[in-house]
Amino acid sequence: MSNVTILCPYCFTPFDRRAVQMQCVNKTEKQEMTEQGIYRRVPQCSPIDDEKYNNHWGTQTKIKRVFDANLTFGERHGWKPIQAKRCPICDIETQKFVCPHCHNWLPAEMIEKGSEIISVVGGPSSGKSNYIVALIHQLMKYQNKLGLSVTLQQVGRNDEEKTSNMYKAAKKKIFEDKEALQKTQETKNPIPWIIRLESRITKKAVYLVFYDTAGESFRDAEKMERDALYFRYSRAVIVAFDTLAIPKIKKVLEKKEIENYTEAYDYTEMWNTIKAFSQGHKSYKLNERPYAFVFTKFDAVIDNCEDLNCTVDNFLDKDDNFKNSQFITDGDGLVSKEEMKENSDTIESYLKDSDIWDEEAFVTDIKNEWGENGQFFGVSALGGMTDSAMEIQTKGDGEIKPIRVLDPLVWILIKLGDFGIKCK
Ligand SMILES: Nc1nc2c(ncn2[C@@H]2O[C@H](COP(=O)(O)OP(=O)(O)OP(=O)(O)O)[C@@H](O)[C@H]2O)c(=O)[nH]1
Ligand SMILES: [Mg+2]
Ligand SMILES: [Zn+2]
Ligand SMILES: [Zn+2]
């Protein structure tokens, strides 16, 4: 435990656990007399300009003082948990850990137990934002079946930026107001969603980190520099592809006058970026890590299968609706690796077939590069299309039902191993 490397989910820079820093949390004030002889209240420990923090966020705000943790011998070697430390200025105790590179607040357990990260990436309009919310929704709902405990992290610059609160707002929008999330605005510094998954059985933990970047930023070479860090340091990646942007599917929907109100971008761009990065950095051995290649908005494939020329039998339940994962629908709660593999093979066959999706070069490329470490998934975050007002077109009882959104993550956890996922 002594020399564990922590990967900061803000700046994506790894650091040795022993280099962690602390931040003062003293909120008390004291009386101070001004030059005019008037008393005023000032903080006991005044916030200061912090270069690292301001550089990260491109701001000029003052923050509470950051200082070295000065770990004891036992803490350095991981024999003892890190105790609260006293601020060198005000002598008040704090247990708030921050990254030594960007001075952002990090979850205490990340420092205590190390961090491994799974990231979610995707091109513009690939459905990332809606997918992550649906993924969290389903994780919260089915964590027991999977033997996981899921915690939305409570760190951030302010309350709104804490994952738990970002989720609360987004969940209300999708699941109560039944509206899809809007296109993400391009910002210099997206806020990471940080979700901790811990196996109740083996106690192994991993952080699911999603930077809600506007997909456009993956297309900009300069920003790619930073985004490349995701690929370099993530143990596994979920890559979202926009199903509605596959040319064959686009054409069929247009012919049926089914309007896609979201602009469709070249869905292969993200893959080409990953491939170029992987080939340019062979030593990172990216293709030895699990990559889940996820076709989002798969409801469109199920609902238009006849026009799309494809048989979707293994995706259907007995009522001919898009079938959810077996561990959810079956009483035994066991994960079926076989079912996931079958679905992947089916998607692969659609891609290869010139009468169906006609994307042979793309699929062959992925298979050549990633082999068994890549698998295809078809998921639906919203369960149906959205209309011009972003309202989700529901079916049946009118509830929003994400389908198969957990599969990519479950497959990754099985691949990474030791998460105690029970399989058939
Ligand atoms: N049919 C269907 N449409 C979806 C689904 N999820 C998202 N969409 C549509 O796709 C649009 C884009 O989804 P987002 O989640 O905003 O995609 P994004 O990748 O975050 O996009 P950027 O923020 O622009 O990069 C949404 O506004 C919906 O109209 C789904 O599960 N099914
Ligand atoms: Mg988005
Ligand atoms: Zn950092
Ligand atoms: Zn202080």
Give how many domains the chain has, as a whole number.
Answer: 2
Residue 318 Cα distances to 315, 321, 336, 419, angstroms: 10, 7, 18, 32
For residue 424, tell me if it sits in a domain.
no
Structure tokens at 361: 């070069």
Radius of gyration of the chain (CA): 24
CA distance 384 to 104: 38
d(CA 4, CA 400): 41
- Output the residue whose Cα is nearest ligand 1's atom 6: 127
Please name which ligand lies nearest the alpha carbon of 215.
Answer: 1
Q: What is the pLDDT of residue 260?
A: 83
**Residue after which a domain boundary falls, among 84, 113, 142:** 113
Contact 118, 234 (CB under 8 A): yes
Same domain, residue pair 129 and 35: no
Nearest-atom number in ligand 1 for the CA of 184 is 23
- Does residue 343 sit in the same domain as residue 372? yes
CATH number, domain at 255?
3.40.50
Where in the sequence is the domain holding 373, given as residue range(s)?
A: 117-416
At 392 the pLDDT is 96
Of the candidates 362, 351, 242, the residue with the CA atom closest to the CA atom of residue 299: 242
Query: Whole-model pTM above 0.85?
Result: yes
* Residues flanking ion ligand 3, Cβ below 5 Å: 8, 10-11, 99, 101-102
Question: Same domain for 202 and 147?
Answer: yes
> Are 196 and 286 part of one and the same domain?
yes
Q: How far apart are CA 162 and CA 153, in angstroms?
A: 7
CB of 121 shorter than 6 A to ligand 1? no
State the average pLDDT for the chain.
Answer: 92
Asked, for residue 423, whether it belongs to a domain, the answer is no
Instruction: Out of 119, 133, 220, 262, give the residue to mutate to test ligand 1, the one with the largest number of ligand atoms within 8 Å of its CB.
Output: 262
Q: Is 346 in the pocket of ligand 1 (CB under 6 A)?
A: no
Does the residue 421 lie in any domain? no
Residue at 97 is within a domain: yes
213 and 180 share one domain: yes
Report which of 362, 59, 6 is spatially closest to residue 209, judged by C-alpha positions.
Answer: 6
Q: What is the pLDDT of residues 55-88, one digit of tens each?
A: 999 899 999 999 999 999 999 988 898 999 999 9
- Over the chain (424 residues), the average pLDDT of each successive run of 10 is 81 92 95 89 93 93 96 91 94 96 93 87 92 97 96 92 95 98 82 93 92 69 70 93 94 88 85 90 96 97 92 92 94 93 97 94 96 98 94 92 98 96 95
Rounded Cα–Cα distance for residues 382 and 179 (Å): 9
Q: How far is the CA of 62 from the centre of ligand 4 (A)?
A: 13
pLDDT computed for residue 220 by the predictor: 63
Q: Are residues 139 and 32 in the same domain?
A: no
DSSP 161: G
Q: Do residues 266 and 388 share a domain?
A: yes
233, 296, 302, 318, 384 from 321: Cα distances, Å: 38, 17, 8, 7, 11
